[in-house]
Structure formats: C-alpha cells, structure tokens
Structure 1
Amino acid sequence: MQEEASVGLMGALSALFSGAVWVLQNIAMGFYNIGYAVTHPNLWLDWTDKKAVMRFVYYGGSTELFFAVVALVLVVLVAGFIHRPFMWGMVRVLEGFANTVGRFFAWAGLLMVLQQVIIVLMQRIFARPDIVFGFGIPLQYDISWYAEELKLYNALIVTLCATYTFVQGGHVRVDLVYAGVKFRTKKVIDMLGSLFFMVPMSILIWMYGWFFLWRHLIVPKPSASDTLERLLMKSRAMRWNVETIGFSPNGFTAYFLFKILLVAFAGMVFLHAIAFFCRSYLEWKEGEESENKYLDKDTLGEGEEAYEGTH
C-alpha cells in the first residue's frame, strides 16, 4: 500500500514537472513565433493566398498565439515591477483606450433612438415600406432591414463599451465581503479576480468567438479541432462565403458583424484585465493615497457629484 502511494506521488510530481517544462518551452517558443510572424507577414497577411487565410484562421485561435501573448504580457509585467512609472504608463494607455473606444461607440445609443423615430415616422405617417438615403448613389433598404439593424447599435454598446463602463465603475456589483475588508485586501481580491475570472473568461470567449466568426466567413468551415495541415488542405477548396442571411426576407444582412464584435469584446476584456491587475497591484503597493491615481472618470459637472456613478 505504501509503495503504491509512493509511486502515485512520484507520478504526480513527474506530471507536474513535465507540465511546467511544457509551459516554459511554449513561452520561450512564443518569442520565436512573434519574431517569425513579424519577419514573415506574407505567410498570414497576404489574403490573396488561400493558405495565408487558413494560417491566419488557425493561429488566431491557437496555443502558439496564447503563449506568444503570455510572453509579451510577462515581459511588460516584469518591466513594470522593475520600473513602476512604466506600469503606471501602461495602465493609463490601456484605460485611455477603453475610455476612447467606449465614449465613441456610446453615441450608438443616440443613433439607435433617432433611427427608431425615423422608422416609426416612415411607417405610420408616410406609409413607406423602405427608407432611401442617397448622395449621388441611393442607398435603399426595406424598413425591416433598418429595424433589425437596431440590434447592431445595441451590440456596439454592449461589446465595445463594457471595459469603458468598468473603468468608470458603472457595472452593478454585489459586495458581500469586499466592502468590509481593508484597502490592501481589496486590492488583493481585485488582482485575483482579474487573473482568475477576467482573463480566463476573455480567453474562452475568444476561442469560441474566433472559430464561430470564421465559420460564417469562409467555406469549407474551419473547426477548432482542425490541425494546421488539415486547414492547409482545405485551402484548396476555400472561398469566401460571408453571412448575409437575415431573420426576415428583407431583414438585416450583415450578421457577421456581431461575430466580429464578440471577438473584439473578448480582446478588450483581456487587455483591461491586464490593466486592472496592474492598477490593483500599484495601488496595493503604494497605499490608499494612490487610489484612482490617473483615473480618467467622467463627471456630470460641479454640484452633481451625488448623481455620478448612478447612471
């Protein structure tokens, strides 16, 4: 019995060691893969070549890409741990990116309201079945097309404004433990949350969203289980087959845009998870006086502080 337990323990330790070696090898290969991709862009960016398209599809959801990103993140984090102003700079850049994208696409809410008003006017007052816009070349679609397009505006707000809302502290949260703990404990919780919730969630969404996107852009349809060799074989019969089917006969015909937004959402959440981890670490390191340092939050103006964060 003791010998079996000893063998089991040795097997577990051996598996852990092999796993650690595998991870380190892949991180090291990540630097090589980054260099190779940068120096050979024609192999994956020249989309006149069908094999290049298939390489792009494969590596976009591959282990190689994951470890290349991990390698870059590790380099940036190590540099930030060594030189704290560099990490603050990275936080400001990533939060600025989230704010800029979010503030721009938040205007989609206004467009959604205006378009809905136009649809109602055209249907109820002018009794028109379509809406025509034209500056030399008329753009004419059925009203049902514009009605279904409203979903796109909603998707723009949900996917591209999520990290902006996070920066602004606008997401609903339930504080059962967090609100009652000390400042530094809060920052530890934030760091763990970004590493064990935000990062894995964004990676899973990216993996599912990436192949979900490409299955609606090309045929033969790629699969997450396809090897590179199999995809290169499929490239012989590859052709573009962009999804243009709506839910109604004259409905919205660009539903592939929703798949692109899903991938963009995952990428932005991953980037902000890194930014949030770095901010939490820096505030933990520097203490309460650094809370919300360099944070670019929206304001309703002087005298409206009581209403901020409630909209």
Structure 2
Amino acid sequence: MLDAIIWFFQNIGLAFYNLAYAVTHPGLWLDWSNNEAIMRVVYYGGSIEFFFVVFTAFLVVSAIGFWRNSFMWGCVRVLEGFANTVGRFAAWAGLLMVLQQIVIVFLQRVFVRPDIAFGFGIPLQMDISWWSEELKLYNALVVCLCATYTFVQGSHVRVDLVYSAVKYRTKKMIDMIGSLIFMMPAAVLMWMYGWYFMWRHLITPKPSASDTLDRLLMKSRAVRWNVETIGFSPNGFNGYFLFKVLLVLFTAMVFLHAIAFFYRSYLEWKEGPESEGKYLDRDTLGAGEEAYEGTH
C-alpha cells in the first residue's frame, strides 16, 4: 500500500518534468518525418505519463479554481463554449446527410446514374454506392462531435431514480460525484482503447497497448503509413479510418466536458440556487423569432 502511494505521488511530481520536457523538446514528437517521433506519440498518447500530466493539470487548475471561483467560471465558459461551437458546426452534417440522400435517390432512381461527380476540372467522381455508405460518416460526425454540445443543451435522456426528489445541493453533489466517478473514468477507458485502435489502422507494424517505448522505437525502423482504405463493398466508402479518429475526438471531448460539468456543479452548489444556469448558453427554437419581434 505504501509503495502504491509513493508511486502515485511520484508520478504527480514527474508530471511537471515530463510536460516541461515535451514542451522544450518538440522535435522528439512533432517531427513526423522521423519515424521515432511517430512512435513516441503513439506510446505517450496512451501512457501512464500522459495520464498523470492530464491528471496533474486538472488538480492544479482545480486548486486555482477553488481559490478563485471567477477563474473556475472562466474555465466553465471556455469548455462549454468549445462544446457548443464544435457541436453547432458538426450538427450541419445532419442537413448535409439528408440533402445527399435526396440527390442519391434522384440520380439512382430517376436519372439511373451509376456515379456522382463533384467539382470542376478534375472532379471527385465516385460510385453511388460510395456516396451511400459515406452517409455513415455524417451520422458519426453528429454522434461524436455533438455529444457534449447536447449535454450542455440539456438534451440527453436522463434516467431519474432519486434526483428529482432530493434537495438542490444534493443534486449538485450527485452531479459532482457522477462527473468524477463515471464520466471521467469512462472517458479514460475509451481513450485507452480508442487510441491504439486508431493507430493500428494508420500505421504498420501495428502498435499494441502492451508495447514498451523501447519496443516501439525498434518497430520505428520499419514503420510506414498504412491508412485503412478497405470498404465493405468493391466500390463502397473506403475512409473508415475516420471513424477511429472520431472515436478519439469523442472521448477527449467527453473528458473535457466532465471537467466543465464538475466545475459548474461545484460552483452552483457553493453559490446556491440563484447561480443555476449561470453563463449557460443554450439554444432555443424561439430565439430568432423573439429577436425579430423585438426589433419591430
């Protein structure tokens, strides 16, 4: 038990050194013309060292926020603003998906076209089956990039067993515990799985979560880009590696929003019911109409 405690605090102390070393030696991991730099990114992206750098940064930011609540509110606004911005942009993929499906139906059923071409000069020309399967990507964009936006907007389905029956401050305690015990650990586990899952479809030799840094550096001698371009059908969509990238982005955004939700819950718990929804930027269907009526 003592060894585990020492190991824990030792890694927190080393996090400051590891972060400073990575910032002051960017060529070791940003120069992707060097295969060893790629393998360092692969290793450290799913490593204990990276976890403790993120964890220690969370502790430091939280400590400052507990001392200066205005700073914590600033973090909440930045993180929720990031979720809203990404979500509002990615939500347009839903409209694009509908329009593309309409075009596919017309070209396939009315004009009996086997392919679709976009652009001038050298157009992007693909079989209709490619465009049909590519619709899955729009759906993945909406699911992965709009999840935290939907959370900010309060639109996720919530199974309520005791939440509505308890007092205001108890609700905020439940929210804080849920952020720390469920959202953050789930995001970390998904990241650990998704990180190596993504890289196994981008490079070869395929990295493994059990590989040490020395072993990955040895593999770097033979590493080459091998981006997954295999479709489920001969002329079908072949960009399935993008789904792996979206999985990693999804987990990162969930983790960041777990921090924002924890901070908001704490601040609303501390400041009382009058602070509920403070700085919360939510969309409403009637916002445009109200603004129009207010100017006339």
TM-score class normalised by the smaller sequence: over 0.9
Change (3 A) 1:302 1:110: closer
> What residue is the counterpart of 1:263 in the other structure?
248
Cα deviation for residue 20 of structure 1 reads: 1.5
Counterpart Cα distance in 2 of 1:119 and 1:214: 33
Q: Does 1:204 align with 2:172?
A: no
Counterpart selection for 1:161 from 146, 158, 178: 146
Cα deviations by residue, 1:257-305 (Å, 9 ceiling, x for unpaired): 0000000000000000000000000000000000000000111116999
Q: Does 1:21 align with 2:13?
A: no
Cα deviation for residue 199 of structure 1 reads: 0.2
Q: Does 1:142 align with 2:122?
A: no
Counterpart Cα distance in 1 of 2:203 and 2:67: 46
Higher mean C-alpha displacement, 93-102 vs 135-144 = 135-144
Q: Does 1:112 align with 2:97?
A: yes
Counterpart Cα distance in 1 of 2:235 and 2:69: 56
Counterpart Cα distance in 2 of 1:230 and 1:196: 34
Residue pairs, 1:170-181, within 5 angstroms: 170-181=155-166
**Structure 2 letter corresponding to 1:99:** N
Counterpart Cα distance in 2 of 1:134 and 1:274: 43
Cα deviations by residue, 1:215-242 (Å, 9 ceiling, x for unpaired): 0001000000000000000011111100
Counterpart Cα distance in 2 of 1:124 and 1:70: 55
Between the aligned residues of both structures, percent identity stands at 74
Cα deviations by residue, 1:114-147 (Å, 9 ceiling, x for unpaired): 0000000110011011001122221100000000
Counterpart Cα distance in 2 of 1:274 and 1:242: 33
Cα deviation for residue 167 of structure 1 reads: 0.3
> What residue is the counterpart of 1:280 in the other structure?
265
Residue pairs, 1:88-99, within 5 angstroms: 88-99=73-84
TM-score between the two structures when normalised by the length of structure 1: 0.92
Counterpart Cα distance in 2 of 1:134 and 1:299: 36
Larger Rg: 1
**Structure 2 letter corresponding to 1:168:** Q
> What residue is the counterpart of 1:289 in the other structure?
274
Q: Secondary structure, in 3 states, of the residue corresponding to 1:140? A: strand
Gaps of 5+ in 1: 1-14, 306-311
Change (3 A) 1:134 1:302: closer
TM-score between the two structures when normalised by the length of structure 2: 0.96
Q: Secondary structure, in 3 states, of the residue corresponding to 1:131? A: strand
Q: What is the RMSD computed on CA atoms of the aligned residues?
A: 1.2
**Structure 1 letter corresponding to 2:271:** E
Cα deviation for residue 174 of structure 1 reads: 1.4
Higher mean C-alpha displacement, 112-121 vs 131-140 = 131-140
Size of the aligned set, in residue pairs, is 290
Gaps of 5+ in 2: 291-296
**Structure 1 residue ranges (4+ consecutive) displaced by more than 2 angstroms after TM superposition:** 302-305
Cα deviations by residue, 1:163-195 (Å, 9 ceiling, x for unpaired): 000000000111110010000000000000000
Change (3 A) 1:226 1:93: same
